Amino acid sequence: MALALKTSFGVRVPVSGPLASKENIVDVTLAAEEFGFDAIWVHDQITWTGEQNSHHVSSGSVEAVVPGKDPDFYESVTTLSYLAGLTRKIRLGVAVVVLPLRNPVVTAKQLMNLDVLSGGRLLLGVGTGAPLVGKSFETVGVSFEDRGEITDDYLRAMIAIFDQANSSYSGKYANFSGAEIFPKSLQKPHPPIVVGGLGRALRRAALLGDGWIPANITTGGVTEGITKIAETRKMNGISRGDLIVGNEIFASIDNDSAAARQNAAATIASYAKSIGRGSEEVTLVGSPSEVSKKVEAYVQAGVNAFELKFIYRDVKSLKSQLAVFASKVMPSF
């Protein structure tokens, strides 16, 4: 896959959190394309609570939280479809579609259509969903405990639709025969599939994916994960091209290192508390030289696609960070 041949930098846009709005999503997307970033990224949930919106902030910052604001969470596929029409070059990523919550046939149709309409710019992340989205499973009527098995089955079904003209698949949770579903995606055999998560997700990435995108991970964890994927592929006789290795990571950059840390501290602490782990060790926080060293360490470990979750109190301050990152970090990679 072409994405893996160089280091790619993408920006998480505010589809959730205190700054989530149509205007801000568009503003951040267009700014990312203007500054030369390779991709924009969204994430994916069905239900989202006010408490999650205030404490599990992965776009914006906790300082931007307004008490009583509706916990808006813009749906991933339709949002990317809208942004496809407003952009020309930047790639469109989702990390990750919570696959067990979606009908795999309909989802495959939507994603192929999006890839065609965007001119082949889709980056497809898939995952099982984490404990903090348990209410989504209850609401949709899907077993949370079976989410891993469902994800594997649905992903195989979607790949059959992506890759076969006359698609058939027989699994525990998905079954169809002789389904002619067109148009197929522009990217062949399908848009790059990156698998989110750890543990069993590494096997899923090895057997079914083109890449892997973990979050809140150390450089050592990256190296260990890549090794496990390679070993699993070898054991199963799978030979593919370059592995896309993503990194979903918080970022705060300022020419003044102390200012960058002060900007990020509350949000990182709140997020770490909400998921039960995390620290500055697994973030890109600091001056341009400090951030560049951290990026280099991840690149040396094997990362080639960064999903940057910048921490910002308003879009104006985000644009300032994008300008610094684009001019003082990206040229080195």
Among residues 122, 110, 123, the alpha carbon closest in space to that of 183 is found at 110
pLDDT at residue 134 in the model: 66
Between CA 218 and CA 294 the distance in angstroms is: 10
pLDDT at residue 3 in the model: 43
82-109: average pLDDT? 98
pTM over 0.85: yes
The residues with which 122 forms a beta bridge, in sequence order, are 92
Average pLDDT, the chain: 95
189-198: average pLDDT? 97
Which percentage of the chain shows pLDDT scores above 90? 90
Between CA 235 and CA 160 the distance in angstroms is: 23
pLDDT at residue 5 in the model: 53
Q: Which residues are within 8 A (CB) of 36 and not within 5 positions of it... i.e. 6 or more apart?
A: 326, 330
pLDDT at residue 281 in the model: 82
pLDDT (tens digit per residue) in 5-16: 589 999 999 999
The residues with which 125 forms a beta bridge, in sequence order, are 194
Domains and CATH numbers, the chain: 2-332 (3.20.20.30)
Higher-confidence residue: 241 or 318? 318
Task: Count other C-beta atoms under 10 Å from residue 166's C-beta.
Answer: 9
